[in-house]
Structure 1
């Protein structure tokens, strides 16, 4: 990696962010009141060109950390280090790992799947589905090693046929295809987005970004690959990033290993990158790790939802990594990561172990909450997930805040709402067009009965409705002119209003 002193010569400015950020990315920042800064501006092309003119191979850039990934030998490194616009260089891998490898041959097989309902029920995802929340309108990034047979599996056919793969990119091999012979990502993605036979992922109707950042050999460059992938996804307007990877020890070059003291939520390269991503309003979900000891990076970040693994009996898995801090509980939450049902790259159903698979379980829940409460910030969503854990009143560094559930999130949000609020308001009233019903947030997630009554007291129409922030207000068509009485019945009371339709 080569890092630059500033961004002098960049053709972009914070006064015209639409030139380097998508409309969706700008909308996320506006919603969360995030100020666009120089950190968001792409790097100086002058500095990049200066390296190219020296014969240096330049690959990916990072605007957040203001640098580029290059391949160069030791003699070239000496020259580059002495350039006036270079602050530092860092060796992140050996030899020339960015030379493209040939694709491994995929072996498509017909899919055999089974229901994932039990592992989803633990998090209340079944309830989420009953409310019709399947991830519509959300953009989810999945960063992993590869997604072999993605284009050939029935489990993902709906994503491709409905054009809900926004883009894919393999940062390890420098190409768009992520079907690179590695399939850990395929299995992770199935838990989130598969829809095959009677196996349904947590949010199969979401739109996806798929990035390969993990290489067969472990070098620091993988952490920078994650950084490059996160910046690209941020510019596209990503809502959530699932990462079932982690870095601590075990690097091919042992000098790149992190000590426990460095897993402090702010030191590791990927943790620093994750903290920047979180500051842009992205929700980050990460596997806690499978060492049984201290969580790995970036799960050590307080801005990342680190997910531990439990079995179907809700007991912690022996391999699930833990935390050490007394005031930042890690993992944050837990989900089933023992015998987790998933779809393999061969299309068959399998039950496999690891926090790699508890994390995408949690991503399904997080996505449903984001969909139900689109006005909440990323930080608020993280807090809602933690507060909904079954150990929220007594968290520890084994289970964190425990097992969250969609139902508990609904109840928590209701409790926070004003106790004396009316169920709904109706406007415009009188109206010459449709009527809009805006429900008080206290009733989000509650099954309401809505009755339309004519002036003679006869029931004209009745239906049930479950409001959420994303379904608020409800548009009601009144086809005939006249006077109506609109009654909404909840578990705790009734609100009735007189409506005049011209």
Structure 2
């Protein structure tokens, strides 16, 4: 490593009045990091570690935080350091041209990239918020085509409302969450786990912008008249939109994704998209770069997906090729239809990603009913609002089939679409549906060896009855029969992953027979309690 004492002296004696801009500084390695892949609990939450273990995803050097030695040296040079990225091994900084020249020559620096001018962190703007306010809605909205077309009403009837799932929502801001009654369950309970505004470097996302509030309502709202798709999930909220239209927004998304990953998030919903229209035209992407592997935000999404996160992304509102990161083959890009199933004219479709249909699926994004920043019901347009419908839908499915990986979830949702047999370049795999998911997975598990398993056996206390996945969603009957043939208990049960196994208490010691009856047959087990 080069000696930097002379560099520090030069910087310290220079005037700090020079114009400063935002840059990403990328490092060549992670030398000096105090962390090790053998001790992931030092930099990942237990939930994040469990998610990787469940999906057989190893913790690698990519997961290690950047070297604090390198960031400290930058700070000693007078460079303002903001957020680090372990996945891309870099740091967001603010510095002037003189400092940049010095940083470029540091031995441990691989590259620097201009991502935006200096701007007050209290300001923000949005790149792809393209929706239109509608009229206030005053009728009962507990059962809406925008939800029922996906079988979300049946999903909720089964008790699948996102319990046990963490959803990260990346948007521009979440104004007034604390004052809208429909969000009381979120803000007054323990469902809001974390929030951060990467544009202002503060934990509060109550930043005056409210596109995120409307997006969130489609998942998390829950009041007398309106229930979102995943009202019982837990949430992590991140504001990632920066002042002006600069590439720093894509890096903010990267920082948010890494934070969410470390916290153990399961699903990320993002209604943001990037391709062109930057304030600095040199940052615009050429059409052929929307190929699922080139843009900063798509590369970040690809890495997030490799960590076992399910990413659900709005396709975009240009009516042409989808924006990034919807171009990634590892995300579910969601297009927009109306309540009659007709494609919205603004819904983006098609991609330069080889052998990939985009959008992947569609949901109602035209005249979608949601809750506004004032707490009123509004109908609005945009793939921004079709995406969160699918995110909450996915949360319910993952709750039901908790053993699935993120990659399996992507395929399950795609294959439950009404066009899955013949994917269409405008609709993708079509409208996914919960009951089709149940039927699809039931077909995939036909011929299972047994209906159920009962354990521990012998038992001293409670008995766990675990029903085979082939019978998820079916109404089954469980009978507990004594050694004398007397029916001591009878239970009707509809199994899904979140309620499987079922716990049954056996009152007296002795021999019992457990009988599980389904529409396709019955099976029995002898149990001993002592």
TM-score, reference length from structure 2: 0.89
- 2:34 & 2:485 partners in 1: Cα distance? 68
8 Å CA contact retained: 1:5, 1:85: yes
SS of match in other structure, 1:425: strand
Structure 2 counterpart of 1:200: 227
Structure 1 counterpart of 2:141: 115
Question: 1:379 offset after TM fit, Å?
Answer: 0.5
- 1:47 & 1:112 partners in 2: Cα distance? 57
Structure 2 counterpart of 1:408: 436
Q: What are the equivalent positions in structure 2 for 1:227-238 lying under 5 Å apart?
A: 227-238=254-265
Structure 2 counterpart of 1:353: 381
- 1:140 & 1:114 partners in 2: Cα distance? 27
8 Å CA contact retained: 2:123, 2:242: no
8 Å CA contact retained: 2:33, 2:68: yes
Q: Which moved more, 1:398-407 or 1:43-52?
A: 43-52
Question: 1:472 offset after TM fit, Å?
Answer: 2.3
List runs of 5+ in structure 2 lacking aligned partners. Answer: 1-23, 125-135
Q: Return the match for 1:312 from 336, 339, 342.
A: 339
Structure 2 counterpart of 1:328: 356
Decide whether aligned partners of structure 1 residues 17 and 427 sit closer, same or farther in structure 2, where only a CA change above 3 A counts: closer
CA offset digits 1:452-502 (Å, max 9, x no partner): 345665544333211123322211112134444433222222223444444
- 1:55 & 1:429 partners in 2: Cα distance? 67
Residue correspondences, number? 494
Structure 1 counterpart of 2:424: 396
Decide whether aligned partners of structure 1 residues 222 and 478 sit closer, same or farther in structure 2, where only a CA change above 3 A counts: same
Structure 1 counterpart of 2:471: 443
- 1:471 & 1:364 partners in 2: Cα distance? 19
8 Å CA contact retained: 2:416, 2:440: yes
- 2:321 & 2:467 partners in 1: Cα distance? 45
- 1:276 & 1:296 partners in 2: Cα distance? 18
Structure 1 counterpart of 2:108: 85
Structure 2 counterpart of 1:97: 119
Structure 2 counterpart of 1:43: 66
Question: 1:187 offset after TM fit, Å?
Answer: 0.4
- 1:366 & 1:138 partners in 2: Cα distance? 10
Q: Return the match for 1:177 from 204, 216, 226.
A: 204
- 1:425 & 1:45 partners in 2: Cα distance? 51
Structure 2 counterpart of 1:385: 413
- 2:469 & 2:350 partners in 1: Cα distance? 35
Decide whether aligned partners of structure 1 residues 6 and 403 sit closer, same or farther in structure 2, where only a CA change above 3 A counts: same
Structure 2 counterpart of 1:301: 328
Structure 1 counterpart of 2:213: 186
1:54 aligns with 2:82: no
8 Å CA contact retained: 2:123, 2:199: no
1:476 aligns with 2:504: yes
SS of match in other structure, 2:115: coil
List runs of 5+ in structure 1 lacking aligned partners. Answer: 103-109
Structure 1 counterpart of 2:98: 75
1:279 aligns with 2:306: yes
Q: Which moved more, 1:205-214 or 1:412-421?
A: 412-421
**Over aligned residues, Cα RMSD in angstroms?**
1.9
Decide whether aligned partners of structure 1 residues 116 and 359 sit closer, same or farther in structure 2, where only a CA change above 3 A counts: farther
Q: What are the equivalent positions in structure 2 for 1:419-458 lying under 5 Å apart?
A: 419=447, 421-454=449-482
Q: Return the match for 1:10 from 2, 9, 33.
A: 33
8 Å CA contact retained: 1:374, 1:470: yes
